[in-house]
Structure formats: structure tokens, C-alpha cells
Amino acid sequence: MSIAVPVQNPSPSPFTVPAVDISAWVGDGSTEERAAVIAAIDTACREVGFIQILGHGIPRAVLDGLAGAMDDFFGQDLETKKTAIAPKGSNRGYTPPKAESLSLSLGVEAASRMNDFFEAFNVGAAASDFPQLELSPKTYAENLWPDVPGYREAIDAYFAEAGRVARTLMRVFAAALDLEPDFFDGYADHSIDVLRMNNYALPPGTVDLDGDLTGMGEHTDFGIVTVLWADQVKGLQVLGADGSWNDVSPADDALLVNLGDLTARWTNERWMSTLHRVKPPIINGTIERRRSAAYFHDGNADAVITAIASCVADGEEPLFAPITVDEHISQKLAGSRAGKSNTAATRDAARVLAAKK
């Protein structure tokens, strides 16, 4: 039977990220086994917003192919990687270090603007994937592939598997929220899905390690749900309910899953979009390399997100006004990439500032 197993966190606080085996939903689980998954997911979404997902069914060969492709690309010299930078405004291709500031997506001023030192490579759902629809070529940009043998094949294979996991979780979410099984289908049948591969490493001598270096600033994810593959190297930190930052690493064979802003809006914050950041692990004066690949399942650009009626108490108003997926993500990206503070994210910004105190 699938059960929720708490994964002990090395942080001195009691913060833990629950582990949930979803194999009953990946395969033909019994009614009782699926109900156990539903209950465990609901508890994790209410209390933490981060989950260790086991039993996801992604083959080891696909995971190894992803890691190998990332190593092949990021192992190149900077000038070669820069040839894969996409046109400005396109959420595709290579992003060099210090080109973004994720904290600005919440309207929080970082100590130094555009100071997140990670480098990244993005691929995503393109307009050509949906020839029957007239989609924005900017929002659904075509992918830019580097000249690295086997890179596209390995990334495409993982993209498909991570998307399957995300869609499986959406079915579990619908059940946990007492919605029709297909409730979310119409919101994500041409979803703006993006896979962002991150590399946290700096060549020796390129930066002063003063203790304030930011791998990725504090932020919430923008969309519905994020499926994260990551090394077990420390660096990822999650904000607990008590305002403390806590180290989180994936358990063996687990994917880390967290909720995005749109799910918090749908559930009127019954389920939270959890704040997280990456602080670089510094060992003997040098940064220990860390890799991650985040699959963002964000929903259709034209979908209107408004609070689910059953998540709003009688006599109360929703915490958020209705908004389209495209409007919300555009506001967030204007902060992280264009350096424009997002004034619409007041609730999350307040949580960041409270944690810093």
C-alpha cells in the first residue's frame, strides 16, 4: 500500500518534507491504495507545499540521459554556451550567470540586482506542438538546440516523462480537492510547460566567497506544479511555517515536487505556493557543483484562474482576483529577467521579508 513516509531533514528545526509513493496512480493501484495517496498528498500540500515523490515510474536510463546531457552542455566553455542564448524575451535557450534575480519576481529587492549566479538552459512547449491552435510565438517559443550530440534526444525523453508525472499529479490533486477527475484538463491541454536545467558552479577565482552569494534568490514558482530532479548536494532551502529556512535534498530515487502560485490561487491558499531559494554549498572556500532540472507545468496561457468555490468560506471573498496564466507569468518574468520589481506579489513578498527578520 502507498503510504506517506516523513524524510528526516538535516536541519536543526523539525521541518520535514513528506515522501509519497504514487505508484498506485502510475499503475493499476487499488481503490484503498489510491485513497492513501490522495490523503497523503492533501496533507503535504496543506502543511508543507513540497513533496518527495517516489514510485514516479521514470526509467533510470532517462534520468541518467538527462544528467549526462546537462553535463555535456554545461561542461563547455562560456563563449560556446553563449551561442545558444535565445533572443531577448524568449524563455528558451541558455541563460548565463548573473542574468536574473528571482527575488524580484516577488517584488523583493535583492542586495545586488541580477545577482543569481546559476546558469540555465530552457526548453518548452512550442507553438508548433499545437498546429490546430493559433498560439503566441513569444509565449510558446520554438526551442533552440545546442550543437551537442544526443542532447535533444535525451532532453526530449525526460521532458515527456516529467510531463507525465505532472499530469498524474493533477489527477491526484483533483481527487484531493473533491473535484471531477477531468477538472484541470481544460486548463492545461496546451500548457506552457518549460524544463529549466540549472547548473550551480563557478570557476575558481571568478568571485569572492563572502557568505552572501546567491545561487537563486527566494521565490515561489509561477505556475501549477513543479517536478524537480536534483543532485543530493545541499543548496535548496525551503521556508517553513515558522519562518525558518530549511535544507532539503531529494531522497534516493525521489523527485521533489512543489506547488506553484496558480495552485495557491485556485485553492485560495488552502494549499500554499512554498517559498524556496538556493544557497550555494561552499566547501573549503570553493563552491560544490549542484545540478537540477525543474519541469514547470504552468497551464494554458489563456486560461483564467479563479478560486475554486469550495475553497472559499461562506461569506468571504477570494484572496486573489481572477487572472490569466499568461498575465501572471508575464508579471513574474518581468521581475526575474527584466529587473522590474513585481508589485502584484504582495502576500509572498511579505513572507520573504518576515523570514529575513
pLDDT per residue over 282-310, tens digit each? 666 677 788 999 999 999 999 999 999 99
| Per-residue cell: 46 | 496543506
339 has a pLDDT exceeding 50: no
| Structural domain boundaries in the chain | 4-356
- Mean confidence (pLDDT) of the chain: 85
| Per-residue cell: 219 | 521565490
Helix, strand, coil distribution of the chain in percent, nearest 5 = 30, 20, 50
Q: Is residue 289 classed exposed, middle or buried when 0-12, 13-18 and 19+ CB atoms within 10 A define those classes? A: middle
CA distance 44 to 51: 6
pLDDT (average), residues 179-191? 96
Q: Using the 8-state DSSP alphabet, how is residue 62 labeled?
A: H
According to DSSP, the β-strands at 225-230 and 276-278 are: unpaired
> Of 22-31, 198-207, 236-245, 264-273, where does mean pLDDT reach its minimum?
198-207
229 has a pLDDT exceeding 70: yes
Residue 175, φ and ψ in degrees, nearest 5: -65, -40
Instruction: Indicate the pLDDT class of residue 353, thresholds 50, 70 and 90.
Output: low
Please give the single-letter amino acid code of residue 187.
Y
Q: What CATH homologous superfamily does 4-356 map to?
A: B-lactam Antibiotic, Isopenicillin N Synthase; Chain (2.60.120.330)
The tens digit of pLDDT for each residue in 35-92 reads: 999 999 999 999 999 999 999 999 999 999 999 999 999 999 999 999 999 888 788 9
| Per-residue cell: 162 | 516529467
The pTM assigned to this predicted structure is 0.86
Helix, strand or coil, per DSSP, at residue 301: coil
